[in-house]
Chains A and B, each alone.
Chain A
Amino acid sequence: MATADIHITEETHHDGHEHDHDHHGNFWTTYIFSTDHKMIAKQFLITGIFWALIGGALSVIFRLQLGFPEAQLEWLRPILGGWITPEGKLDPEFYLALVTMHGTIMVFFVLTAGLSGTFANFLIPLQIGARDMASGFMNMLSYWFFFASSVIMFISLFIETGPASGGWVIYPPLSALPQAVNGSGLGMTLWLVAMALFIVSSLLGGINYIATVINLRTKGMSFAKLPLTIWALFLTAVIGLLSFPVLFAAALLLIFDRSFGTSFYLSDIYINGEALPNQGGSPILFQHLFWFLGHPEVYIVLLPALGITSEVIATNSRKPIFGYKAMVGSILFIAILSFVVWAHHMFVSGMNPFLGSVFMLLTLIIAVPSAVKVFNYLTTLWRGNIRFTPAMLFSIGLVSFFISGGLTGIHLGNSAIDIQLHDTYFVVAHFHLVMGSASFFGMLAGIYHWFPKMFGRMMDAKLGYIHFWLTFVGVYLVFFPMHYIGIAGYPRRYYSFTNYDVFNSFSDLNMLVSIAAIITLAAQFIFLFNFFYSMYRGRKASANPWQSNTLEWTTPVEPGHGNWPGEIPTVYRWPYDYSKPGAKEDYIPQHIPFSMTPESNLPHENDMIKLEGDEAKVVVNEKK
């Protein structure tokens, strides 16, 4: 058996230096101020799960308002207090705060920090064969900046004037003027402070991920042998590194407009019977700056999920990923294109139609690499020995959402059709499927897949299946009807539609959406139970429960600080040697040399045998 061989090769490499010394710190150094990438990943994960629950709960509250506009919500008073009006209704301004905070929390705190933070931290050192991140200390700082940011954002939920309520895109002048809406007072200030800390956290994390992938790959781990998860996480970090600073600049300017009397985004405003002195700024400018981050952010959210899916689908189809180079190329192409399409969020902002057509063209080009990825997922599945693990189901679910949500992207990317669809529920349906649910499913797939490596135990598969089907059906029931509502012209972020006769015919559809949303949120508690129960009581995991090829499965079941007790394994082959013709097993891990698998080697791989053992040969003399 191949796993037996692994241990033999490892034993022969033993040359006792800096291993097996225990890093048993106290509670504080182990769980709180840890510099171990695995613990930091778990910290990000737990915080992300916490935020996902808050974000989900907020969405259910505003869905109650949309689905049951006549309902008495008096029973929510114990939780929401004054946000329930004396008539037992949701306060309209609080409704705006709910959608704003739902968006902010889900996009940044769950699907950026919770997803990238968890899996970049956890997988990069384990899959490239490194003992830890390049700088464990900066990694710790990255988490603690995120934590501070979370605390401030969380506090903003409880202040009297309510949290920020200008939409997660915080367009000025609404967000710049406290007299415009309650949420633009202290709530908005806290939002900006929290996001500034968040950007620092993502910068500290990002440069660490990039430097680690470039410098700390183990012997033999060339970029062409990197698992696609690492490619995705690497390029995600690059995108974040280049786009977040622009949001930082935009936020700083907004802070000055709000608090210090400048007019960067403000001009010609007449509010509450008073003309404001601000002259010369432009709110459109903010939109440009915001979407220069905002659009790449979509891919910051999505790419890690796509990377995880590549890994899970290949492993559980027992087939090499179809088109590895095309996958890498399309990630790279998407990453580049993500920086030149931002203005498709602004087609109706009064921009020059010619400019609109340029951005439309660039936007539609993204369909090409996206379609390449979908095609490659489907062809990897095609005639594979599919193992329907919960992670695999969630990955297939992701592909489904990516297709159905991606198709509507082609409509929305068209600057003419966008005039009708802009700011309607069609947009809500589109991005919730293609980046919201798809990324969320990628995150869940990652948790189910790497749970054994994180906690040394297996999650319960049956509960996983129930969780998957309820969530999968629930997500479609929530977001599919929204397409119809949106085409009919329903605008986003409106508190109520019952005043308009045109929209009354959709109240049954809205009710269905709300019921589905409640069931979908409820289904997540099955996952939560499974997650925490399995952490302590789950079946003990074996070293390589999914019979996967990547390096993390060569570590002990519960790797300590430093990941490998002995020398870090050397890598000889790509990570997708599944079901190789002639091989004894249907998988050959990356660290098995070609000299040990003569029965399955291709001609050019036989030539590679000559190079084995030479890994140290090219090491340039390290001066430092």
Chain B
Amino acid sequence: MSTTAHTIDDPKRSIWDGGQSPLKASYGKLMMWFFLLSDAFTFSALLITYGLVRSAHPAYDGAADAFTFSNNYWPIPEKVFEAVPFLHGMSLPLVFVGIMTFILIMSSVTMVLAVEAGHRMDRKNVEKWMLWTIIGGLVFLGCQAWEWSHFIHGTDGGTVMKFLVNGEWIEKTIFGANLAVNQYGPPDFAAFFFFITGFHGTHVFSGVVLNFIIYYNTVTGVYERRGHYEMVEKVGLYWHFVDLVWVFVFTFFYLV
């Protein structure tokens, strides 16, 4: 309708006056943003819960060298997460999870490149970078599976722990971890580890599924026919969010 080329100098008219998208984003993108905001609250609730329960447990206050696992205090994460595949018995604190984190962050980079290729309507490159993103996600999930499996099976020797059962102290050797008991520390340590990394892993998994759908649609030319690659952008937002959450999970579980 706007055939006239006025300059917009009247203060009374603004982009918020209706009839258009004031944030210059489609409703789908807005919905994704608001969904992520909501999801951020879910993760915040879980991480704050973790922080509160952890602070309610006594911390280990001896020398770091003399650290042994016990259900009397919260473990030092570096002593728990020190295994790397094929290097059995070596103490490599946080090396493996560092690799995992690097892979996930790199998959965010490839996602950015896919979105950028989408802006240029460059189908070949969208396909390429989406594929790398999917691979990154799958490798991360595979690493997590190995880490869980190692966490569940535990160390060779296990930990001797004392439990009060119906008024009597009983000593038991615990190997690895499940949701009720673990060899690394108080029961809540493993429970939170499984719950929060599992909840994040579920997000990564659904992200990989979404990425694959996008990849499939790109390959079959759905977005080319549609004339824009906005879906890549929307799913990209989700993928970056999942990465960002991992940074916090990583900080809370492995670094602090």
Contacts and interface: CB of A to CB of B under 8 A. Distances in A.
Contacts of A214: 21-23, 27, 30
Interface in B164-182: 164-167, 178-181
A210 interface: yes
Contact of A241 (B34, B56, B179): B34
Given A282-B53, A289-B49, A616 B1 contact: yes
Contacts of A211: 27-28, 30-31, 34
Contacts, number: 180
A620 B24 contact: yes
A105 interface: no
A245 B19 contact: no
B113 to A, nearest CB: 21
B135 interface: no
A285 interface: yes
A262 B191 contact: yes
A128 B22 CA distance: 14
Interface stretch (A247-255, A361-369, A462-470): A247-255
B42 interface: yes
Interface string A244-271: 1110111011001000111110000000
A285 B31 contact: no
A264 B18 contact: no
Interface in B135-181: 163-167, 178-181
Given A216-B27, A616-B2, A622 B191 contact: no
A112 interface: no
A620 B41 CA distance: 33
Contacts of B13: 611, 614, 617-618
Given A280-B186, A280-B188, A249 B49 contact: yes
A491 to B, nearest CB: 29
B27 A135 contact: yes
B65 interface: no
Interface in B1-53: 1-2, 4, 6, 8, 10, 12-28, 30-31, 34-35, 37-39, 41-46, 49, 52-53
Interface string A207-237: 1101110111111111101000000000000
Nearest to A210: B34
Please tell me the size bucket of the interface on A: 35 or more
B187 A215 contact: no
Nearest to B34: A207
Contact of B18 (A203, A210, A222, A262): A222
Interface in B195-238: 195, 199, 228, 230
A157 B140 CA distance: 44
Contacts of B52: 282, 285
A23 interface: no
A219 B45 contact: no
B8 A292 contact: no
Contacts of A135: 27-28, 31
Most chain A CB within a 10 A radius of its CB, from B27, B44, B46, B52:
B27
B124 interface: no
B57 interface: yes
A216 B45 CA distance: 32
Contact of A624 (B53, B164, B187, B230): B230
A277 B38 contact: no
A275 B27 contact: no
A275 B166 contact: yes
Contacts of A256: 179, 191, 195
Given A250-B45, A280-B186, A624-B230, A207 B17 contact: no
A332 interface: no
Nearest to B12: A611
Contacts of A160: none
A218 B178 CA distance: 56
Interface string A3-39: 0000000000000000000000000000000000000
Interface in A595-617: 607-608, 611, 614-617
Interface string A491-524: 0000000000000000000000000000000000
- The residue in A215, A241, A285, A619 that gathers the most chain B C-beta atoms within 10 A of its C-beta is A215
A229 to B, nearest CB: 17
A278 B179 CA distance: 11
Contact of A242 (B21, B30, B38): B38
Tell which of B16, B19, B57 has the most Cβ of chain A within 10 Å.
B19
Given A135-B28, A256-B195, A262-B179, 16 more contacts: A203-B38, A207-B38, A208-B31, A214-B21, A214-B23, A216-B27, A218-B18, A242-B41, A245-B38, A246-B45, A274-B166, A280-B187, A571-B18, A611-B10, A614-B6, A614-B13
Q: Nearest 10 A-B pairs (CB), nearest first?
A: A219-B19, A221-B18, A134-B27, A249-B45, A261-B180, A217-B18, A616-B1, A245-B42, A262-B191, A245-B41
Interface of B: 1-2, 4, 6, 8, 10, 12-28, 30-31, 34-35, 37-39, 41-46, 49, 52-53, 56-57, 163-167, 178-181, 186-188, 191-192, 195, 199, 228, 230
19 contacts: A134-B31, A135-B28, A203-B35, A215-B23, A221-B19, A222-B14, A241-B34, A245-B41, A253-B195, A261-B179, A263-B187, A277-B165, A282-B52, A615-B19, A617-B6, A618-B14, A619-B19, A620-B15, A620-B24
